[in-house]
Amino acid sequence: MTTYIGVLDDQWRWLGKPPKIFNSSPGVERTFCDHCGSPLSFRSKNMSGVMHFFAAAMEEPEKFAPTLHVAFEEKLPWLKLADGLPTRVGPDYTKD
């Protein structure tokens, strides 16, 4: 399980040296720190126009409150979420 922060492309930019890019599957791009290997972001062509940043890579991740759970059907059976947030089947929350 991971927490991503989705940001529209025109609302963010890399400061300093851009991270390394790994194309993990067709249409999927992941970035990571070339110094320590930490994952930084995820982008899918199916959800074009949005970059997904790992909350764990943020300096202050608590500033980004969740708004929904995606790919909810993939959660492990022991995970119980009682926050009342909406859920989506599959990873693409950009289309209804």
Taking the C-alpha atoms of residue 51 and residue 56, their distance in angstroms, rounded to an integer, is 15
pLDDT, tens digit, 9 for 90 and up, residues 51-88: 999 999 999 999 999 999 988 899 999 999 999 999 98
- Asked if residue 71 lies in contact with residue 87, where contact means CB atoms within 8 angstroms, the answer is no
Task: Check pLDDT > 70 for residue 96.
Answer: no
User: Which residues lie below 8 Å from residue 32, measured CB to CB, with a gap of 6+?
Assistant: 19, 20, 22, 38, 39, 40
Q: Which amino acid is at 25?
A: S
- pLDDT at residue 19 in the model: 96
List the domain boundaries for the chain.
4-12+19-61
- pLDDT at residue 52 in the model: 94
Cα 2 to the chain's mean position, in Å? 8
- pLDDT at residue 94 in the model: 76
